[in-house]
Amino acid sequence: MKYLLILLFFPILLQANPANLDFSLQKKSSTTYLLSIIVPKGYALQKDAPNKIQVQPSENLKVVKFSSELKGKVFLDKPEYFQTIEPLSLELKGKGELSVEAKLFYCDLEKGICYPSKISKKLPLP
């Protein structure tokens, strides 16, 4: 019965984003941009979880280079969580919007509970 409830509520949990994880895009040079993951205080991303970030350009935009590998500092007392996450570098050509689709595993550090989250966001180029 317990497993049946987990299976029923997992799709709802996957859509949930109570931590308000977010993304921001900053221009570094004429074609280079930085995609930052915003994680609110009290939460952290799991370091070894299967976190996935994909980007999809609009019609007049082209992604030349992108690496979605998460890097950053980890907590000394909890090395399984990122303390900070380095911005992801993108090389883009053209103008338009960048769609970001992500599946991230984040944890409430106070409660010790981790959640999967699915995030979809459209970011205009700055």
- Find out whether 31 and 62 touch, Cβ atoms under 8 Å: no
The sign of the dihedral angle between the CA atoms of 99, 44, 51, 105 is negative
Strand partners, 90: 33, 66
pLDDT digits over 34-81, tens only? 999 999 999 999 999 999 999 999 999 999 999 999 999 999 999 999
pLDDT band at 19; cut points 50, 70, 90: low
The structural domains of the chain, with segments of one domain joined by +, span 2-124
Q: What is the mean pLDDT of residues 99-126?
A: 92
Does domain 2-124 match CATH 2.60.40?
yes
The pLDDT of residue 126: 85
pLDDT band at 10; cut points 50, 70, 90: very low
